[in-house]
C-alpha cells in the first residue's frame, strides 16, 4: 500500500528522484528497480503505477462499457511506460508534465495502490477546496 506525501523537485530535464525508502515499491519480482506507468488523472495530477498494477488496471478499463470510453481514452491514451534509472530517477514525459502543469516543485502522494504526482501548489489548492466542501457522504459513517 502506498501512503504518505513527499515534497520533491523536478530537475531541468523533467526527472523526479524517487525517495530511497520508496524505491522498493517500484521493484519487479526479482527485486530490481523497474518500470512504471505514468498517466493522467482527471483531477489534474498524474498517476504512477507499477507495471504489474497497471496491467491489472488496464484490463479492468478494457471491460468498462462504451459509456466510459472518453475516460478510458484519457487514462489509456495518456499512459506512458518509463524506467527508473540507476539513481532512482524517473523522467516524466514532457506532454504529461504539461498536462499536470509540473515545473519544479512537485509532491508524490501515496493513494494506496498507486502514487499521484501533483504540482505542489495545485495539490494544496485541491485539498483546501475538498476541506471547504466538507466530508463526502461516502465517508459520513467512516471511523478511525
Distance CA 134, CA 60 (A): 31
Roughly how many angstroms between the first and final C-alpha of the chain, as a whole number? 17
- In this model, does residue 3 exceed pLDDT 90? yes
In this model, does residue 31 exceed pLDDT 80? no
- Quote the mean pLDDT of the chain: 91
User: Is the four-CA dihedral 44, 144, 21, 5 of positive or negative sign?
Assistant: positive
- Res. 102: pLDDT tops 90: yes
pLDDT at residue 6 is higher than 80: yes
**What's the pLDDT tens digit per position in 115-131?**
999 999 999 999 999 99
CB count in 10 Å sphere of residue 92: 22
pTM value surpassing 0.85: yes
Name the helix (H) or strand (E) containing 112: none
pLDDT, one tens digit per residue, over 59-83 is 999 999 999 999 999 999 999 999 9
Q: DSSP per residue over 9-76, as a string?
A: EB-TTSEEEPPGGGGGGGB-TTS-B-EEEEEE-TTSSEEEEEHHHHHHHHHHHHTS-GGGHHHHHHHH
Cα–Cα distance for residue pair 117/46, rounded to 1 Å: 5
User: Which among 101, 96, 135, 141 has a CA at the least distance from the CA of 121?
Assistant: 101
Q: Cα separations (Å) of 8 from 107, 112, 120?
A: 6, 19, 9
**Percent of the chain beyond pLDDT 70?**
95
pLDDT at 33: 56
pLDDT for 24 beyond 90: no
Amino acid at each position: 500500500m502506498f501512503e504518505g506525501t513527499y515534497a520533491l523537485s523536478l530537475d531541468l530535464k523533467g526527472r523526479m528522484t524517487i525517495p530511497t525508502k520508496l524505491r522498493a515499491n517500484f521493484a519487479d519480482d526479482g527485486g530490481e528497480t523497474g518500470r512504471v506507468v505514468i498517466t493522467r488523472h482527471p483531477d489534474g495530477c498524474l498517476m504512477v503505477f507499477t507495471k504489474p498494477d497497471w496491467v491489472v488496471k488496464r484490463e479492468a478499463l478494457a471491460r468498462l462499457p462504451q459509456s466510459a470510453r472518453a475516460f478510458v481514452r484519457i487514462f489509456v491514451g495518456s499512459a506512458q511506460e518509463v524506467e527508473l534509472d540507476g539513481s532512482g530517477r524517473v523522467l516524466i514525459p514532457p506532454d504529461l508534465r504539461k498536462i499536470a502543469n509540473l515545473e519544479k516543485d512537485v509532491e508524490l502522494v501515496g493513494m494506496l495502490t498507486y502514487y499521484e504526482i501533483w504540482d505542489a501548489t495545485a495539490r494544496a489548492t485541491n485539498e483546501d477546496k475538498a476541506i471547504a466542501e466538507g466530508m463526502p457522504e461516502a465517508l459520513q459513517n467512516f471511523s478511525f
